[in-house]
Structure 1
Amino acid sequence: MTDEPLREVRRAVYRPVREGNALEDTVARLVQTIRLGVVAPGESLPPERELALRYAVSRDTVREAIRELAGAGFLVPRRGRYGGTFVADPLPQPPDPGKVDAAELDDILGLRRVLEAGAARAAAERTLDQPVREELWARFEATSAATEADYRRLDTLLHLTIAEMSGIPSLVTLAAENRARVNAWLDTFPLLPRNIEHSNEQHERIVTAILAGRAEAAEAAVLEHLAGSEALLRGFLA
């Protein structure tokens, strides 16, 4: 399996931006792509011409957005035969957000429960063909075998893969936006080894339930899984 995200995940992060705030929205969409791990640290973004087409903006807007993020340490432009725009490796350390507003935290985490539990239920209720089933299991195995440095990126791609397998394209867009906001908080505190082990056990229950077509079990497993990371987020941020 490659790290190439599935079709709807790519559509979610590379969709056209709003006309009135083209530069700001392009910067935000590129940051979302980085935070979700759609392009891994050290890997290159699509060419400027392709980004301009996907975002429905000018190449000058794309170049300016890239310059802004390069100045902030997120991107590294390179010239020459093997040039392009690369995601920084390592990424800059996110600042400590301090105490996060409780209402905002409730809102984002509440939406995450609805989106991700619903996605797992919908995926389990569908008839998934063999390549899709194999892709889901491969995502789970890749996350389970991930190094600490790559764990959150592959964990995110596993969750977005489940969202895509719901068969509801607009849900993928919402899940990607929500996950990017959650990841911005998660990245401010360290991974805990026991938490990774527990998370992998829960991932196996989620994926197994989806592949077995057990919708209620898949939904329940996701809610249990999200409760663990929610407790950490509230502990570190609230």
Structure 2
Amino acid sequence: MSVAFDFAGHSFRMLADRALFWPRHGALVVADLHLEKASWYAAHGQPLPPYDSHDTLDRLARLVADTGARQLWCLGDSFHDRDAAARIAPAVAGRLLNHAAATKLVWIAGNHDGLSGGAWGGEVADELERDGIVFRHQSEAQESRPEISGHFHPKLRLSLRGRPVSRPCFAGDAQRLILPAFGSLTGGLAAEDSAIARNFTGPYRAMLVARGRLLSIPCRGVGDNDVTESRIAARR
């Protein structure tokens, strides 16, 4: 499920499953896969079912098939930690190699993942620029070009019929777009939190695809934001 979405003069498709598709380049863009997060917790004495990487790659494979993507751009923190390569199951590694064989796989380096030792058939870059738009892991305040990034795991939190609802979302304005975390075992940060708001020069919007339509909610600029940074650690 997707809707047309214009950004920086180019036509994209915003996908309900936390991803962006750029038809012009046949590129599926995702951020923050956090592969092998469950195995990290298990190694630190908190055993979780070891299926998060497979579930994330299942969803990724479906989107590649549905969109016909020729390229796959992963905007950083594709792995949960720098030692994930040593823990990764052979079956998961094989699936990554399959993605690299079927698409042009680009790994944008993030602050968690250590990709220099192995890219599983993909290309590793600090950032990527296409048609004047820069793709990187974390937004940079001094960037004057249109920018698409990840890192913050934005979530839209609403109250519907008296019940709290939380969904991964995009956060953006005309100049910057922050993608939701794609990984199956990832938390999130409220889209209006000051850590996200400060990446924008004024008001911006939290956006997601719901029932085939774009749901877009205004967020206040950082100067008006009363959410304190002390809440960040508890949500990440």
The reply to whether TM is greater than 0.5 is no
TM (normalized to structure 1)? 0.30
TM (normalized to structure 2)? 0.30
Bigger fraction of residues in strand: 2
- Return the index of the structure with the highest Cα Rg: 1
Bigger RCO of structures 1 and 2 (CA < 8 A, at least 6 apart): 1
Bigger fraction of residues in helix: 1
